[in-house]
A and B are shown apart, each in its own frame.
Chain A
Amino acid sequence: MIYNLIVIPVILPIIAAIISIFLRRFIKTQRWIAFGVMIINTGISIYILQLIQREGILRIDFGGWEPPFGILYVADSFSMLLVLTTSIVTAICLLFAFSSIGEHREKMFFYPLVSFLVAGVNASFLTGDLFNLYVNFEIMLLASYVLITLGGTKVQLRESIKYVVINVVSSFLLLLSIAYLYGTVGTLNMAHISERIAEAGQTPLLTVISIFFLFVFSLKAGLLLYFWLPGSYSAPPAAVAALFGALLTKVGIYALFRVFTLIFYHDSAITHTLIGIMAALTLIGGSIGAVAYKDVRQIVSYNVIIAVGFILVGLAVGTPEAIEGSIYYLIHDMIVKALLFLIAGIMVVVSGTARIDEMSGLIRNYPLLGWVFFIAMLSLAGIPPLSGFIGKVLVGQGAVETGAYILLALAFLSSIFVLYSLLRVFLNSFWGETIITVEDEMPMKKGWIIPSVILMIGTIGLGLGPEFIAVYVSDAANTLLNPETYINAVMTD
């Protein structure tokens, strides 16, 4: 089915960004343009999700070039769920940014850059063309390069140069992998590639190329190759860090899921085992990092890495339950990681330090903040009524069914490490003697706490009512596990 509607989540942020560039001095207008676009995107994503339920996978062929010749966008439940979550999380991070990002950053095109970032992220989720995926990655990354340096503090500059260099090199490696794949199968349309590989069989040469893709997307997702992540995610201001933590690694994870379920799914003994090993090492490394540091932003960044490892355990296991669990966990993680980064940012601002051993007794000054942190911690650890639970149960179920006991053990041990690392933050900085006196106490701005509370409600809501998205998640998992559904939707009229 062909619908023009699915291009809206990409085109709207781009138009908003371009208009906002010309409205440089009118910060209020820029704010509401960016925020409004995210709200509209949320509505449209929900509508498209329902449309997919009725009509099947939707697509749009740009310029009327039919696949496999032209570039196209394909909207299935998996990509639309992620677009929906992206829109919601970005809207809330923007709310937080209104009162925290500072006027000098706002005047230097903060809102247009966020819009470009979201356009790149949404386009990466929607595209059905491998080269277009590379271009969309670049749109997203270029916006993120500027966002991470925006403000130009010393820490930001020091960390951003590493972030930019690593990502530029990995982008060229992605181009290299695409070149190899194009040289081998002679097409760039993902459905067409999948079809051709299914016809000719996944030869060892193609498996080698698939491992190229695995390493490239691992660099972007922070799967095993995460060494650049903690430093660069703890440098920018909280609103930007929350956006990065919630969105950027998830695009890499999305690409891994798409490529290894749609294109390279024939030789899972090699590729999926490798993903499993990398996920296991990520879980171990992330867990060690999460308990090793005393900087709250570092601890939170290492929690991102643990989540990446956990989600990819689902892909490595590959049963329908595990894939569903991964999708639930992906959505949960986008919401709750944004929340965690926002809280960490508030903690750093109100206490004037990022070290947890120098903060103390914050719960007496800011009780609501303490409770929100507590809920976020429980949600990340996977305590039942909250949103982390269902994903963990389903991934665990898949791992038990396939007998992947080592992955199972590591995945659940990592949950304990998550709990321990955040409990350490909680005990050190929220409990204990109050060191901020009433006179020195910085008043909690409404603009800081309201976005956090909204995200907290999001995680509780997702935990209590997964039935609302269960239809879409099972459809998404179904499409991922049956590539022919995707191929049929793309290759037939």
Chain B
Amino acid sequence: METVITILSGVLVSISTYMILSRSVIRIILGISIFSHGVHLLLLTMGGLKTGSVPLLGRGAESFTDALPQALILTSIVISFAVTALLLVLAYRVYQELGTDNVYDLRGFKDDL
């Protein structure tokens, strides 16, 4: 199970890398969200997937799932939600002000700013 999820997160990361390297700002943002999913899945896998029991320690608890990665992912999902929202607003503002969503047109440094 771990192997499958690791491969899945690898696939997600490679897709997102392709999208982040594209020109359109919206694609970059979508790439970032997919990237976050890949990373979150990997984080989940790192704690060990289903070991057959709830994350409760007690007398006679033979197996238990590590609950920490889930707490970490929850935190990280909230952060990535906030960041994605901010990026979308920013992309919209950039489109309004500069009239483009192509990052090639956003290159500066003509030394005459």
Q: Cβ of A168 and Cβ of B90 under 8 Å apart?
A: no
Q: Which residue of A lies closest to B20 (CB)?
A: A169
A142 to B85, CA, bound (A): 11
Contacts of B8 in A (CB 8 A): none
Within 8 A of A (CB), among B81-98: 82-83, 86-87, 90-91, 93-94, 97-98
Residue A145 is within 8 A (CB to CB) of chain B in the complex: yes
Q: Which residue of A lies closest to B107 (CB)?
A: A158
A293 and B111 in contact, given A135-B75, A142-B83 (Cβ under 8 angstroms): yes
A142 to B90, CA, bound (A): 13
Query: What is the CB-to-nearest-CB distance from A156 to chain B, in angstroms, rounded to a whole number?
Result: 9
Within 8 A of B (CB), among A136-177: 138, 142, 145-146, 149, 152, 154-155, 157-162, 164-165, 168-169, 171-172, 175-176
Residue A180 is within 8 A (CB to CB) of chain B in the complex: yes
Q: Cβ of B94 and Cβ of A231 under 8 Å apart?
A: no
A158 and B39 in contact, given A182-B47, A183-B47, A231-B108 (Cβ under 8 angstroms): no
Q: Cβ of A176 and Cβ of B79 under 8 Å apart?
A: no
Q: Cβ of A164 and Cβ of B109 under 8 Å apart?
A: no
Contacts of A180 in B (CB 8 A): 46
Contacts of A183 in B (CB 8 A): 45-47
Q: Which residue of B lies closest to A146 (CB)?
A: B86
Within 8 A of A (CB), among B22-41: 25, 28, 32, 35-36, 39
Residue A295 is within 8 A (CB to CB) of chain B in the complex: yes
Q: Cβ of A165 and Cβ of B87 under 8 Å apart?
A: yes
Number of A-B contacts (CB under 8 A): 95
Q: Cβ of A179 and Cβ of B39 under 8 Å apart?
A: yes
Band of interface residues on A: 35 or more
Residue B11 is within 8 A (CB to CB) of chain A in the complex: no
Q: Cβ of A142 and Cβ of B86 under 8 Å apart?
A: yes
Q: Cβ of B93 and Cβ of A294 under 8 Å apart?
A: no
A175 to B45, CA, bound (A): 13
Query: What is the CB-to-nearest-CB distance from A141 to chain B, in angstroms, rounded to a whole number?
Result: 8
Residue A131 is within 8 A (CB to CB) of chain B in the complex: yes
Query: What is the CB-to-nearest-CB distance from B61 to chain A, in angstroms, rounded to a whole number?
Result: 17
Residue B72 is within 8 A (CB to CB) of chain A in the complex: yes
A134 to B42, CA, bound (A): 16
Contacts of A134 in B (CB 8 A): 76
Q: Cβ of B83 and Cβ of A152 under 8 Å apart?
A: no
Q: How would you classify the secondary structure of chain A's contact residues: helix, strand, loop or mixed? A: helix
Q: Cβ of B32 and Cβ of A165 under 8 Å apart?
A: yes
Q: Of B47, B72, B91, which contacts A161 at CB under 8 A? A: B91
A165 to B87, CA, bound (A): 8
A211 to B111, CA, bound (A): 36
Residue A354 is within 8 A (CB to CB) of chain B in the complex: yes
A160 to B91, CA, bound (A): 10
Q: Cβ of B108 and Cβ of A172 under 8 Å apart?
A: no
Q: Cβ of A179 and Cβ of B98 under 8 Å apart?
A: no
Contacts of B109 in A (CB 8 A): 231
A158 to B108, CA, bound (A): 8
Q: Of A159, A168, A179, which contacts B108 at CB under 8 A? A: A159
Q: Which residue of A lies closest to B37 (CB)?
A: A172
A286 to B79, CA, bound (A): 33
A478 to B98, CA, bound (A): 52
Q: Cβ of A175 and Cβ of B76 under 8 Å apart?
A: yes
Q: Of A138, A157, A294, which contacts B97 at CB under 8 A? A: A157
Q: What are 9 A-B interface contacts by the 8 Å CB criterion?
A: A157-B93, A162-B103, A164-B83, A172-B36, A175-B43, A179-B39, A179-B69, A183-B47, A188-B68
A interface residue numbers (CB < 8 A to B): 131, 134-135, 138, 142, 145-146, 149, 152, 154-155, 157-162, 164-165, 168-169, 171-172, 175-176, 178-180, 182-183, 188, 231, 293-295, 354-355
